Amino acid sequence: MMMVENTSFQHALAQSVATTAFITEGGSETCPDTVLPTVLLSFTLTTLLTSLAFFLLGYFNLGKIVYFFPKHVILGCISGIGVFVVQTGLEVSKGTDKIEWTLAGLERFFATGNQFLFVLPVLLVIALRALLRISKKLSTPMPLLPPLFFLSVTPLFYLTLYLLSIDLSTARASGFFFPETTPTSPPPGSPSPYFNDGGVPPTSFSSLFFPSYSLLQTPTNPFSLIDLNALFRTMPTQVGCVLFSLMHVPINIPSMSMSVGVDVDMSTEDQGFDRLERFSISLIVITMTLGGMTAGLFVGMIMASVTFVVNAGTHLHPIRGSMRASTLRSSKWRTPRAWKTLISSSKLRRTLCVQLQGHLYFANINLFADEIKALLLETPNWFNYIILDFTLVLGVDSSAAFALIKLVDQMKPRKLRWISFVTGKEDGFPCTVNLSEQLQRKAGVGIKQNLDQALSELEDLILEEKESGLANEIIMTSPEIARKLLKEGESSTLKHILTVHCPTAALSTIDALSKYFERRDCPPHTILWKQDSAPEFLAVILSGSLLSTLEEEAGTKEDVAPGDIIGEFSLTLAGGEREDVTR
């Protein structure tokens, strides 16, 4: 009950108790003695119920259940609380009754009373925002600026009254102070001294904070001051407060990260939500404003259930499989020296490749994050690189998108030097959030369109760490091969390519090997072999290009450029079969 977001629930509890107590008393003119004890007991019970809920979640290892509230539902509830805080601030600042959300009610609110009463708080908020913006531009952080600003408001207010020669009675008459309590003659049988409510209407929320000293006297039966009927009527609001406290957990950690100076992008509050999510946020805010906190939470739970049922009915397990990149290679042309470096390097074995599938949404993104952490913890500090392949992912909702950004920050302390995201699509990740742009702001993160590009980038990193320039070392480009064909003929060009691929072979071996090759011209779209077919030959590409497709691996494709040799692995393996379709 100590969070500022719970103020609206405290207000609702107090109003419920006060309304029930006045009905029970038959509409008395003063605040009944049962109101304050019952309100305080309702606050206490709500705190105990919240503590019990958190204890049971921890005891039964059900803590992850709090993540089953989608981000847009939590945002809708927080927005509803924000509207309540603004509304209450206007009501308290002007000392008026509850704002009526009608055109006539708003005109009456802004047309009556001292307008400066709510203009002054607005000016203070603008001043605080300006100071915070200025502090962000300074090199020295100022985390104590907001609390010092709030502490300075009261002394500056009194200093302003002194400088303007305004006495307290005039300021109180203008509405800058709460009504003053005045001593009166105590009713028969009441202890002395006795204080009334200072003229505050008995149905006003402010009257609850002007109790008589008689309430502090312990009666023979202390529970006689508890209105059980009013207490039972607050139970739905108490349950709503408990649920909201549980929903608030996913917000606390990012908020703390912001407070301690971790870079968090807050420019996407209104971005990255689809139409259903925007509708849910608006519906929750409107319901909370017009129907109360409990009704708004009820609507939020319904929208969360609808989202969960729709997603759970169509989504698969988020991780299709994982493996080390020991045998994975890109299609990028490498010199024999570069290939030898990659084969002898242990860093490819320190690369974890994870292929995802289906939809990533608020209910399974934490399962995905936990499995990634478990894979990394199987051999602590072993993996230096990780590739996350989103080729088979059909969609990513806003909750999962922001969870992926947070996962990157959580993996940094695990000695991961490089994280690559494979979108699998030309237009980036399949989500409404601009996930590519936000991930690229992180250090040590790469975004690639396909797995081949990600492997190529990984190989470049490994080669550049070994020797500067080794990653881009080139023996012969396609134009150079074309010129050599034109100048020296096919036989000489073939021998040169074989020499490049077999640098330790003798010239006599290269001459003997070249005699086994024959020229073959292939029209466009010719299929050289199909996957799982028996291998019959290998080929050296002299001109043109080929396309190799792995049909059982989500249609993974790679280009084969002039100067490459294809088909050598399946041909040299006894009983091997073609692993791809080449055309």
How do residues 476-531 score in pLDDT, each as one tens digit? Answer: 555 566 566 556 677 777 777 777 777 777 888 888 888 888 888 888 888 777 77
Does the structure show a pLDDT above 70 at 24? no
Q: Which of 275, 305, 335 is the last residue of a domain?
A: 305
Residue 391 lies in a domain: yes
Rg (CA), the chain: 36
pLDDT of residue 463: 85
Residue 354 β-bridge partners: 322, 388
Residue 32 lies in a domain: yes
Residue 120 lies in a domain: no
Q: DSSP 3-state assignment of 135?
A: helix
Average confidence score pLDDT of the chain: 74
Closest CA to 579 of 398, 335, 332, 329: 329
Q: Which of 413, 441, 466 is the last residue of a domain?
A: 466
Whether residue 268 sits in one domain with residue 237 = yes
Domain count, the chain: 3
Does the structure show a pLDDT above 60 at 8? yes
Residue 364 lies in a domain: yes
450-467 pLDDT, tens per residue?
888 888 888 888 888 888
Whether residue 55 sits in one domain with residue 200 = yes
CB burial of residue 85 (10 Å; 0-12, 13-18, 19+): middle
Strand order in the sheet with 546-550: 556-560, 546-550, 581-582
Higher pLDDT, 157 or 539: 157
Residue 154 lies in a domain: no
Q: Which of 427, 446, 466 is the last residue of a domain?
A: 466
Question: Percent of the chain beyond pLDDT 90?
Answer: 2
Whether residue 546 sits in one domain with residue 412 = no
- The CATH code of the domain that includes 498 is 2.60.120.10
Whether residue 412 sits in one domain with residue 278 = no
370-390 pLDDT, tens per residue?
888 888 777 666 788 889 998
Q: Structural domain of residue 240, as residue ranges?
A: 4-114+175-305
- Average pLDDT (315-332) is 77
Whether residue 323 sits in one domain with residue 232 = no
- The CATH code of the domain that includes 344 is 3.30.750.24
User: Residue 319 phi/psi, 5° resolution?
Assistant: -105, 120
- For residues 7 and 293, give the distance between their C-alpha atoms in angstroms, rounded to a whole number: 11
pLDDT of residue 454: 87
Whether residue 494 sits in one domain with residue 388 = no
Strand order in the sheet with 385-396: 319-324, 351-360, 385-396, 418-422, 445-448
Residue 134 lies in a domain: no
Whether residue 180 sits in one domain with residue 52 = yes
Whether residue 195 sits in one domain with residue 82 = yes
CB burial of residue 189 (10 Å; 0-12, 13-18, 19+): exposed
Whether residue 411 sits in one domain with residue 365 = yes
Does the structure show a pLDDT above 80 at 125? yes
Q: What is the DSSP string of 245-297?
A: HHHTHHHHHHHHHHHTT-----S-TTSS--HHHHHHHHHHHHHHHHH-HHHHH
Residues 323, 375 contacting (CB under 8 angstroms): no
Tokens of 99: 């704002």
Pairing of strands 445-448, 556-560: unpaired
Whether residue 239 sits in one domain with residue 90 = yes
Residue 455 lies in a domain: yes
Whether residue 331 sits in one domain with residue 293 = no
Whether residue 222 sits in one domain with residue 92 = yes
Residue 525 lies in a domain: yes
